[in-house]
Amino acid sequence: MSIWLIRAGQHGEYESKFQQEGRVYVTWDLLNVNLANLSDRSQLNAAMTERYTDRKPKTIQNWVSQVWPFAHAMQKGDLVVMPLKSQ
């Protein structure tokens, strides 16, 4: 079992949804790809680079490092810590 720190949107806009549904989601509006279908980080990097053309490669690499484990390491039953911005 792992413990994950998840933020529910930049301003906490997904806090209620996550709490009500007992689930967490990737909420990046432009990242409209099925992460489960990506077989390695380079595919995610390419998908993000294609969608976020104004971002520097280091920024994309940072994001890949955040999103990849969410999609490929997080397991059902892992614990999630979600700091609340609404309280």
Question: What residues pair up with 79 in beta bridges, in sequence order?
Answer: 3
- The angle subtended at Cα 34 by Cα 39 and Cα 13, nearest 5°, is 130
Backbone angles phi, psi at 45, to 5 degrees: -60, -45
pLDDT in tens, the chain (87 residues): 899 999 998 898 999 999 999 888 888 888 899 999 999 999 999 999 999 999 999 999 999 999 999 889 999 889 999 999 877
Which pLDDT score, from 0 to 100, does residue 28 have?
A: 83
Q: Taking the CA of residue 81 as centre, how many other CA atoms within 13 Å lie in the half-sphere pointing to its CB? A: 5
Which pLDDT score, from 0 to 100, does residue 42 have?
A: 97
Helix (H) or strand (E) holding 69: helix 57-72
Spell out the domain ranges in the chain: 3-81
